[in-house]
Amino acid sequence: MGQHLSELITSTESYHDNYRRDFMKYRLGKAMQLKVNRTELSDDIQPQASSTRDESEVPNTKASMTSIRELNPTPDVDAVIEGKPSVEVLKLLNALSLKETEKELVEMNPAFLDLEKDMKKKFTGIVKGQNQKFKEWKKALFERQEKFNKDIEQVHKRLSGLQEEIKNMSTYTIS
């Protein structure tokens, strides 16, 4: 029992260390993209696509995160970490808000994406249902209008007939 508990603790610590490292590299990659877009990175570190692994990759856990690769090539994060003083790296990290990064990661979470997809399906279903109800209501109104128009037409014909009859009677009584 003690050995298994020790293995659990060790593997959990390792997992969290790897996650923190990947998360910080992800944040640094995003911050560097921001800086590259603003051309504030020094000229000695050129943007290049990573050959083995994109450092702007979202931290990947077994159940909660997915790997997302950025389309724009970013400077190699390891080269920036090794080539710049720690203070400069921290300044880069602080250029990107932690709350924004966490929000972005939550929005990329498969559970969140599934929930969003389900909500969109429900909303689409509700909208389709309401549209169908509106179409039925509109159709019923047109049918009702058509019925009233026919009634008005019949009343008009009857009125015209009565006017004709009155005209005939008036000419009959005068002559």
Mean pLDDT of the chain: 78
Least confident of 21-30, 63-72, 151-160: 63-72
Q: Where are the alpha helices (DSSP H) in the chain?
A: 2-38, 77-83, 86-94, 98-107, 110-174
Query: Over 60: is that where the pLDDT of 17 sits?
Result: yes
List pLDDT tens digits, range 141-158.
Answer: 999 999 999 999 999 999
What would the mean pLDDT of 94-104 be, rounded to a whole number? 80
Based on its alpha-carbon atoms, the radius of gyration of the chain, rounded to whole angstroms, reads: 37
Q: Which among 96, 86, 85 has a CA at the least distance from the CA of 38?
A: 96
* Residue with tokens 């997809």, as numbered in its chain: 117
At residue 145, the pLDDT reads 97
At residue 58, the pLDDT reads 47
Q: Taking the model in full, what pTM does it have? A: 0.43
At residue 31, the pLDDT reads 80
Supply 171's token pair.
């000419």
Please spell the DSSP secondary structure of 61-108, one letter per residue: -TTT------SS----HHHHHHHS-HHHHHHHHHTS-HHHHHHHHHHT
List pLDDT tens digits, range 104-141.
Answer: 877 778 888 889 899 999 999 999 999 999 999 999 99
State the CB neighbour count (10 A cutoff) for residue 141. Answer: 10
Query: Over 60: is that where the pLDDT of 59 sits?
Result: no
What would the mean pLDDT of 157-172 be, rounded to a whole number? 91
